[in-house]
Structure 1
Amino acid sequence: MNSSQADAYLHRIGAVRPPRPTSQALRELHLCHLRAVPFENLSIHLGEEIVLEEKRLLDKVVGARRGGFCYELNGAFGALLAALGYEVDLLAARVYGDEGRLGIPYDHLALRVRTEEQDTWLADVGFGTHSHCPLRYAERGEQADPGGVFRIVAVGPDAAGAGGGGPAEAGDLDVVRDGAPQYRLETRSRTLGDFRAGAWWHSTSPLSHFTGSLVCSRITEDGGRITLGGHVLRTTAADGRRTTRELATDEEVLAVYRERFGIELSRVPTVRNRNPNS
């Protein structure tokens, strides 16, 4: 990513270029990203190809002002951070599902980020409902965040880990939110291309929850969250109060995509697979 591309990305998320790659700047960039770039799986249901290459990710997130899911959002954000002088590793994770079962390999992409102060953080702008700020990577105690109380738990090869999700590899970490394990993180650095099989599976498999539902969600400026799932608009305030509204027409849906998420669509996406568990 060159300097002009980085500037365009910063403009996209409403952030200024930090003079140095500090921890404070990382926190600000992380929160700006979550507010500006929605977590969404619309490409799957619009028949759009998902390509894990830096240029294609920038074309989508910055040029087309779209969002994406973990591979796209953290892939693009990691490239921005590297361009700003941070040391960035792409890490693979397996997401905890029903009854504590772990998902497929390369189920999720997260970022390990080192700053000029030699602090190391777990940054993740691509997991939907998650921490608003990066988590201290080496901290094993509780970490309070507007998104919940988080812990990063070390698991060994003979331990099931926080969620009992099965054998772990040496060095694996469980990321836990409000007492519930979210994903098991590997610590080996990966490349963006390593995640292509995971992105393909989540984009095509009838067993993937992404092919069976529509989601578009982002953090609001007051610390709440707004989510559009199909024709249902859900708003959660920072104090936890929730409202739900059914949108009656496609025109209303397109207006919400445009006005609340900044996404211009010519048609409403339709769910690709309505029976993901069949």
Structure 2
Amino acid sequence: MDVDAYLNRLGVAWPAAPDLATLRHLQERHLAAVPFENLSIHLGEPIELTEDALFGKIVRRRRGGFCYELNGLFAALLRALGYDASLRAAQVFRPDGTLGPPLDHAAIAVSLEEDWLVDVGFGRFSRHPLRLSGVDAQSDPDGEFLVLDAPHGDLDVLRDGKAQYRLERRPRPLSDFVPMAWWQATSPSSHFTKSLTCSRPTSQGRVTLSGDRLIETVDGVRHEVVLESQAAVRAAYRVYFGLALTRLPTPPGESPLTSGALSPTLP
């Protein structure tokens, strides 16, 4: 990995030591610089869960990605910087409180003097590392978080009292997530094939582009605008997310093949 290039992508100088303060800064910068987006699914681009492919996409091509991509590559960066970092699988809680399938999310655990949860691939989530052994509420710019014991040794992570996901304690290699990433990218039942999103936190809230809808939350107030042309959508991707797209993603429900895109494939 070209660590200098990755740090430059985040706008970060080479850190002096792999400590908690540096970890917190790296997480904040990653969230701000690299958007959470599922555009590849709607552009017909292959999603390859290898470190080389992810580095090419996120660092060289200055794109974003979803959980397996963002946390998969960020974990590799943390290890290159001297952290004891490993991927952990999670099941995401549905709105009705039931759990999604195993491995439908990937997060990062970092061991310092104690274990910390780091997640740059869940959309709106904590901006700072969360103490995995903590029993008290942990305050964060994006909410109040609790980490609670769950059945079979797992951990439930809650934001503002609502369960977000159930986290495994065992480490996982990135390759373990390939089958579920394929399902997320191809299944009609997947949330990612049904929606088109590009999102990142800002100093005052969050900005999201969902198709032609630009949504900005500033100090808790939501503003939504419908962009009226493809040129305006392209400009929004460039201005708000730093993405210079050569073509726009196909809206959900339409085949990428009809717009000349390649069918999504995974290894």
TM-score (norm 1): 0.90
Does 1:84 pair with 2:78?
Answer: no
Question: C-alpha distance in 2, partners of 1:234/1:98?
Answer: 21
Which SS does the other structure have where 1:139 is aligned? coil
Cα distance, 1:219 vs structure 2 = 1.1
Which among 138, 141, 160 is matched to residue 136 of structure 2? 141
In structure 2, what is the equivalent of residue 236 of structure 1?
A: 217
- Of 37-46 and 90-99, deviating more is 90-99
Give SS of 1:150's match. strand
Question: Corresponding residue for 1:71?
Answer: 68
Distance 1:135 1:223, change over 3 A: farther
Larger RCO: Structure 1 or Structure 2 (Cα < 8 Å, ≥ 6 residues apart)? 2
Q: Does 1:104 align with 2:101?
A: yes
SS at match of 1:181: strand
Superposition pairs of residues 90-169 of structure 1, within 5 angstroms? 90-115=87-112, 118-156=113-151
AA aligned opposite 1:273: G
Q: Is the 8 A contact 1:122 1:137 kept in 2?
A: yes
Structure 1's unaligned 5+ residue stretches are 157-169
2:204, 2:217 within 8 Å by CA — same for their partners in 1?
A: no
- Three-state SS of the structure 1 residue aligned to 2:180 is helix
Alignment of 1:250 onto 2:250: no
Distance 1:223 1:32, change over 3 A: farther
2:117 is paired with a residue whose SS is strand
8 Å Cα contact 1:155-1:173 kept in structure 2: yes
1:184-237 per-residue CA deviation (whole Å, 9 max, x = no partner) reads 1111110000000110010000000100110000011x2411000000000011
The percentage of aligned residue pairs carrying the same residue is 53
- Match among 179, 185, 193 for residue 167 of structure 2: 185
Q: Deviations over 1:64-103 (max 9, x none)?
A: 0000000000001000000000001110001011311211
AA matched with 2:72: G
Q: What SS does the aligned partner of 2:209 have?
A: strand
Q: Which runs of 4+ in 1 moved over 6 A?
A: none
Aligned residues: 254
Distance across 2 between alignment mates of 1:134 and 1:16: 20
Of 227, 230, 241 in structure 1, the residue corresponding to residue 208 of structure 2 is 227
Letter in 2 for 1:37: V
Pairwise CA distance, 1:120 = 1.8
Question: How many Å apart are 1:270 and its aligned residue?
Answer: 1.5
Question: Contact 1:44–1:272 at 8 Å: present in 2 too?
Answer: no
The offset of 1:46, in angstroms, is 0.1
